[in-house]
Amino acid sequence: MRSTILIVLCLVVLGIILPVCVFGQTAKPPKRVSDIAPLERIVNKDTNLTSNRIDIVAMESFSWTRTIGGFAMLFRESDSAKENFAFIPKSLRFRDLLDSIIAAEPRYQWKEKDGIIDLIPKENYPLLEANVARFFLRNATKEEMINGLQSTPEFLSATLKSGVQKNLVVSFDGICTETPQKNTINMSNATVQEILNEIVRLNGLSVWRYREYLVANDRTTRRFYSLDFIVNHGADCSSL
């Protein structure tokens, strides 16, 4: 009788221990987004791929996958010009979503370097390729950095050469905070685009956006540019 009780107790203990051991061997903790390569991250299945707006699809995808980078919109005749595209990615991987944008609008290209992804026109804007001899700001928010970049002699010279004027309506839409992140940036002989990528790399939360478009009135038609963030988490509330 005693041996029978011991056998039953052993079986009960084994019934508890074995599943725990097996589960411990096979179960894997879910990966954090930051542990997954940016191009392999999964975009939101509810992303509106029928919105016909590349900027909206790009914004939603960058934001959902928490990927940093940049987006330069193709030149538009006006800031409100409509687009008409259909996006059919092979899967919900960010890489496939980007490829579907290129398939819909072949004038775009995407590039990845060190985890930073840029979606830009194949014929890139000269202003983004302008070289800046030195750009240094200490303890600055990303808004202060992007404004400081536009004040450099090289940037101002490039705008004159390109015949574009700054859009005086400043827009830094985003989720703002009273205590914005501050960093120090120090770059030499870098293009405007490289500096913008470094700004978002330091911040780790945002995606820059560059646009050019025409504004017409009764007498003249002028070409404007706008430089802000299409994804802007942790924005500086004082700049909004």
The predicted-structure confidence for 6-19, as pLDDT tens digits, reads as follows 444 444 444 444 44
DSSP 8-state assignment for residue 32? P
Residue in the block written with tokens 């700004």? 199
In angstroms, the Cα distances linking 4 to 1, 11, 81, 175, 216 are 5, 11, 83, 67, 95
DSSP conformational letter for 93: B
Contact (Cβ atoms closer than 8 angstroms) between residue 134 and residue 187: yes
Q: Rounded to an integer, what distance in angstroms lies between the CA atom of residue 59 and that of residue 45? A: 14
Q: Could you tell me how many residues make up the chain?
A: 240
pLDDT tens, 62-117? 999 999 999 999 997 655 556 678 889 999 999 999 999 999 999 999 999 999 99
Predicted TM-score (pTM) of the model is: 0.82
Other C-beta atoms closer than 10 Å to the C-beta of 229 total: 26
What pLDDT band is residue 123 in, cutting at 50, 70 and 90?
Answer: very high
What whole-number distance in Å separates Cα of residue 215 and Cα of residue 166? 12
DSSP E strands, the chain: 69-72, 108-113, 116-121, 131-140, 165-166, 175-177, 183-191, 206-216, 221-236
